[in-house]
Chain A
Amino acid sequence: MSEQKPKTIFEKIWDAHVVKRADGYPDALFIDRHFIHEVTSPQAFDGLRKRGIKVFNVNRTTATADHNVPTKDQHLPIKEALSRHQVETLRKNCKEFGVELYDLGHPFQGIVHIIGPELGLTQPGMTMVCGDSHTSTHGAFGSVAFGIGTSEVEQVLATQCILQYKPKTMKIEINGKLGKGVVSKDIILYIISKISASGATGFFVEYAGDAIRNLSMEARMTICNMSIEMGARGGLIAPDETTFRYMKGRRFAPQGEAFDKAVEKWKQLPSDEGAVYDVVLKYDAADIEPMITYGTNPGMGMKVTDRIPTVEELKEINEQASFKKSLDYMGLEPGSALLGKPVDYVFIGSCTNARIEDLRLVASIVKGKKKAENVEVWVIPGSKQVEEQALKEGLNKVFEEAGFELRGPGCSACLGMNEDKVPPGKYCISTSNRNFEGRQGPKSRTFLASPLSAAVAAITGKVTDVREFI
């Protein structure tokens, strides 16, 4: 018997899920877990109705309402007619097709990428999809998770499979000790600033190295969440004891003996010694500092103490026009610094940074302090369970005393779709994942940063180096 070729964790999971591989065709890949939400599913259900077919396996499908929901007065009917219609359509579709829905008011409702992990629906070794590009979040557990379009949502509902070409693999290794005030959001903003918003397009990324190993599960999720912001199909981290500890006892995780058996299986997942990646990148954790973005894509980031590049410093001439357009939109000068720049809004939330640890980080900075008068601060827990936990720990009191507004769970001001929007021309320091033009509302201007950096800006009212505070 010849020895098997060493495989990466990605290859092991992918290959184990191929139902059919045929020459010239993309792989028919079996999907273990499918999450759906109100925005990208209605047309898919319509497609099923037109074809007269059912959902292939409702037990592998979970729905929630998150993108379009208000974060205030969630017990009342949604005010905006189109949003209300979309959420009602989800209800109707889930009822008709028999899909479990964690609707507004349900104790498990929340942002789809927050609730999957906290309920134990997300598990190592799984293939997972959702009609949302931040599905990569679930990769933190050592699963192959990626975002898809609505036609693909329909494919998965109809057949539990998706047709996909296998992407190339990239390993990003971060070794060393993180500096003071540097958290996982800074790691991922740093990587994206190094390789650009398209640097990992066509690749599935594995994050490795001791700086990643030393992170909590929630911090790992923040990193995997933003894989798409460098174009990656997805990003994952091999499961380890930290993963298993997090999984144990979760509602939909295997229980008792079944859990121990599952752990034994999960331990086989990490990449084999000698497994080959198409690209390997290595960074030193000590080089990473608190980060902030200055432009209109997540690749336009820098150390908070740096200055924005000048036009002449750009490597490619072709980029100059887009760079100028971007800074024009942001109302910023090439070559200027951001430290001390006043901000109008602080948004703490989104599938990137709205878990309990994020809220704790914020509370640790603001405890006993008050927000600056010039800023409005929104804290949006990622799920009903995160909200409950924050209340249990008294974080709500810390936020209240600081003048922050703690609201109900949802995607909120991450995407300018629901009621929570940043007004035109205003600056928002945000813990979310995208600083695109108009992302947080028409003409809004976004600085992406960590929960720590956002919290400190809430207190000072301007872009601040968090290290001066801790």
Chain B
Amino acid sequence: MSKDKFTILKSTAVPLPVENIDTDQIIPARFLKATTREGFGENLFRDWRFTSDNQPVKDFVLNNPAFGGKILVAGKNFGCGSSREHAAWAIYDYGFRVVVSSFFADIFKNNALNNAVLPVVVSDKFLQTLLEAIQQNPKTEVTVDLINQQISVNGKSEKFEINAYKKECLINGYDDIDYLLSLNKEIREFDLAH
């Protein structure tokens, strides 16, 4: 789905230093019953955010008014488990445009990129630097520069990898289907010969 264009983002960030955050935590299965892409943000991290009687869990970071912003900083192996794209939709719908971690699960990474959410892979060391900076001062701003593939906080920065094609898609708001549809003739021939 083509969406907003992404070049540079400067924002405060939300720290969530938990490892192996699976997509069942990001959006539990019982909230996957909608047939549209919107509205999933309401239930982002539902069972960490709310008690069983729908009261906010006080010590969960999304309920802490000190923290906010468009960048989520999480522990390694973010987005493992189910292929549900609803996880990327929920993150987008809540207002995040970047997730930073030292490691992402493959399917989540693709889903995020297909929904204008930029997954930024940093070293374990830089992840710690980021988390410490944000936790010490929630007003700390983090800059994510897609053009130069660089993430910075408090004067420290690190380069991040992204493949050239996906980078171009994000910068221009293109999606994969546009490219594949342009190959229609070749695909038809392949299908017939196969």
Task: Report the minimum CB–CB distance from B35 to chain A (whole Å).
Answer: 4
Contact call B24/A40, Cβ cutoff below 8 A = no
A26 to B180 Cα, complex, angstroms = 11
Contact call B28/A438, Cβ cutoff below 8 A = yes
Instruction: Give the most central of B34, B35, B114: most A CB within 10 Å.
Output: B35
Chain A contacts for B176, CB-based, 8 A: 151-152, 155, 163
Interface stretch of the complex, out of A6-14, A17-25, A269-277, A331-339: A17-25
Q: Which of B2-44 contact A (CB under 8 A)?
A: 17-20, 22, 24-25, 28-30, 32-37
Contacts known (A56-B187, A424-B52); A417 close to B29, Cβ less than 8 A: yes
Contacts known (A152-B114, A163-B176, A163-B179); A86 close to B35, Cβ less than 8 A: yes
Closest to B33 in A: A82
**B141 CB-CB contact with A under 8 Å:** no
Contact call A40/B85, Cβ cutoff below 8 A = yes
Q: Which of A38-86 contact B (CB under 8 A)?
A: 39-40, 42-43, 46-47, 51, 53, 56-57, 67-68, 82-83, 85-86
Contact for A319 among B19, B29, B164, CB less than 8 A:
B19
**A222 CB-CB contact with B under 8 Å:** no
Contact call A197/B52, Cβ cutoff below 8 A = no
Contact call B85/A150, Cβ cutoff below 8 A = yes
Contact for A25 among B83, B85, B165, CB less than 8 A:
B165
Contact call B186/A321, Cβ cutoff below 8 A = no
Contact call A201/B103, Cβ cutoff below 8 A = yes
**A193 CB-CB contact with B under 8 Å:** no
Chain B contacts for A83, CB-based, 8 A: 33
A68 to B179 Cα, complex, angstroms = 33
Interface stretch of the complex, out of B72-80, B143-151, B153-161: B72-80
Closest to A84 in B: B33
A198 to B114 Cα, complex, angstroms = 22
Q: Which of B73-117 contact A (CB under 8 A)?
A: 75-77, 80-86, 88, 103, 105-107, 110-111, 114-115
Chain A contacts for B184, CB-based, 8 A: 159
Chain A contacts for B186, CB-based, 8 A: 19-20
Contact call B82/A133, Cβ cutoff below 8 A = yes
**Could you give, for residues 162-184 of chain B, a 1 whenever the CB lies within 8 Å of some chain A CB and a 0 otherwise?**
01110000000001110111011
Contacts known (A321-B18, A434-B81, A437-B47); A416 close to B29, Cβ less than 8 A: yes
Chain B contacts for A119, CB-based, 8 A: none
Contact call B177/A39, Cβ cutoff below 8 A = no
Contact call B177/A149, Cβ cutoff below 8 A = no
Chain B contacts for A82, CB-based, 8 A: 33-34
Contact call A159/B181, Cβ cutoff below 8 A = yes
**A459 CB-CB contact with B under 8 Å:** no
Contact call B183/A20, Cβ cutoff below 8 A = yes
Contact call B83/A131, Cβ cutoff below 8 A = yes
Task: Report the minimum CB–CB distance from B110 to chain A (whole Å).
Answer: 6
Contact call A30/B52, Cβ cutoff below 8 A = no
Contact call A161/B105, Cβ cutoff below 8 A = no
**A2 CB-CB contact with B under 8 Å:** no
Contact call A151/B187, Cβ cutoff below 8 A = no
Task: Report the minimum CB–CB distance from A378 to chain B (whole Å).
Answer: 17
Chain A contacts for B103, CB-based, 8 A: 198, 201
Contact call B77/A149, Cβ cutoff below 8 A = no
A28 to B124 Cα, complex, angstroms = 33
B: residues with CB less than 8 A from A are 1, 17-20, 22, 24-25, 28-30, 32-37, 47, 52, 75-77, 80-86, 88, 103, 105-107, 110-111, 114-115, 124, 163-165, 175-177, 179-181, 183-184, 186-187, 190-191, 194
New A-B pairs, 17, CB < 8 Å, besides A47-B1, A165-B163, A318-B19? A30-B190, A46-B35, A67-B29, A86-B33, A132-B82, A149-B88, A150-B111, A151-B177, A154-B177, A163-B176, A202-B106, A319-B19, A322-B18, A436-B22, A436-B81, A439-B24, A442-B30
CB-based closest 7 A-B pairs: A149-B85, A42-B35, A82-B33, A417-B29, A149-B111, A151-B114, A147-B83
A: residues with CB less than 8 A from B are 19-20, 24-26, 28, 30, 32, 39-40, 42-43, 46-47, 51, 53, 56-57, 67-68, 82-83, 85-86, 89, 131-133, 147-152, 154-155, 158-161, 163, 165, 167, 197-198, 201-202, 228, 231, 233, 297, 299, 318-319, 321-322, 325, 415-417, 424, 434, 436-439, 442-443
